[in-house]
Chains A and B, each alone.
Chain A
Amino acid sequence: MKKTNPSFLNGVPELLVLRLLSKEEMYGYQIVEAIRSQTAGALSFGEGCIYPYLHYLEAEKQVSSRRQEVDGRNRNYYKLTQRGQKRLQTLTDEWNRVTNGVALLMEGKYA
């Protein structure tokens, strides 16, 4: 049986950010708002921490960024790269495997 990545639960923000960026190019505030609205406010965190995270993903070449002036403000837009796409696929597979396992346990089918 494949072992669960121990850092997997720590990788949830990575999964969320990559998933959102796979749909469209976004800047930090948009990402935070999207996480808030699309999880119905279930996930709360210090919003500033999204930036070190995005910078890390950029260093890992999972996302790329570009500056664009919008309404007189210079914003950093992030988008998914090919490597990010692959990473997203891996994380999604792991997530599905774990949530399926947890769901089975919660339903008590094999108890």
Chain B
Amino acid sequence: MRDFMGQLRGRLLKLRCPTARIERLVHELADHREDLKQAGLAEGLSEADAEARADASLGDPLVLAEQTMMSVRRSTWWGRHCVVTFGLLPILACLLWYLMLLCEMLLVYALGYGCNREKLHVAASNPVTLHHLLLAFRFTDYFGVVLVALLFFWLAQRTAVKLRWMVISCAIWSLMAVIFWAELKPNTITASETGLTLTAGGTLSTDLASMPWFRATIPVLVAGAGYVIQCRAVRRRLQRATAG
């Protein structure tokens, strides 16, 4: 019993199966094994023989763990379509990032400076205010990049797919962070009026020095941190299971 359930639990933990699913499966299998054992005893087998037969009937715990993971992954649309979720979605995530930037800027204007055109001009003409605005903009830009990377980390966890999918999606998102950019610039409207212009686009510069390397590193850092966190969590859960 300990061997079968121990092997199964250990393998499922290594494959990052949700704990609730493991507990449910182990509970049902323990029940099933007890039924098999009782049937064996009723046939006149010794307790040891009945238990050995019950374990053999349940099948290979490692194969069972793989089947369980397959059923976990197939139970969500995201898990069934890994290529779309972790290969194509990072490309579309640019839209989410743009949207975030836009919403943030609108919010900052509305809360801090009002939606009034004149106030905006005053804000853009004032160097200190402009500095704050640009800082908020840069922060939102980085925050958006982090948020999208975290979204893929969360999706990888939710669907229990192999960690390499999370790494792939973050790598693609990292590439997107190199290509796509957004800029907030003071814009001279008339001699006395200065406004702000938000521009965004996608270019792949050949000048390596001008590329936004810091932005590109963020998703890779998130993926690395996620990988380490996951591995540690698995190790901790395994230790707890072994101790239990």
Contacts and interface: CB of A to CB of B under 8 A. Distances in A.
Contacts, number: 66
Nearest to A59: B75
B134 to A, nearest CB: 48
Interface stretch (A16-24, A42-50, A84-92): A42-50
> Taking each of B36, B58, B72, which has the highest tally of chain A beta carbons within 10 Å of its own beta carbon?
B58
Interface stretch (B26-34, B100-108, B143-151, B207-215): B26-34
B24 interface: yes
Contacts of B32: 28-29, 32, 47-48, 51
In the complex, which range does the number of interface residues on chain B fall in? 20 to 34
A53 B67 CA distance: 8
B31 A75 contact: yes
In the complex, which range does the number of interface residues on chain A fall in? 20 to 34
B71 interface: yes
A10 to B, nearest CB: 12
Contacts of A52: 25, 64, 67-68, 70-71
A74 interface: yes
A76 B28 contact: yes
Interface string B2-34: 000000000000000000010011011101101
A79 to B, nearest CB: 16
A8 interface: no
Given A29-B35, A52-B70, A59-B74, 17 more contacts: A27-B31, A28-B28, A28-B31, A29-B32, A46-B59, A46-B60, A48-B32, A49-B59, A51-B29, A51-B32, A52-B71, A55-B71, A56-B74, A59-B75, A59-B76, A73-B31, A76-B24
28 contacts: A28-B28, A28-B32, A29-B31, A29-B32, A29-B36, A46-B57, A46-B58, A46-B59, A46-B60, A47-B57, A48-B29, A48-B58, A48-B59, A49-B63, A49-B64, A51-B25, A51-B68, A52-B68, A53-B67, A55-B25, A55-B68, A55-B72, A56-B75, A59-B71, A73-B31, A73-B34, A76-B24, A76-B28
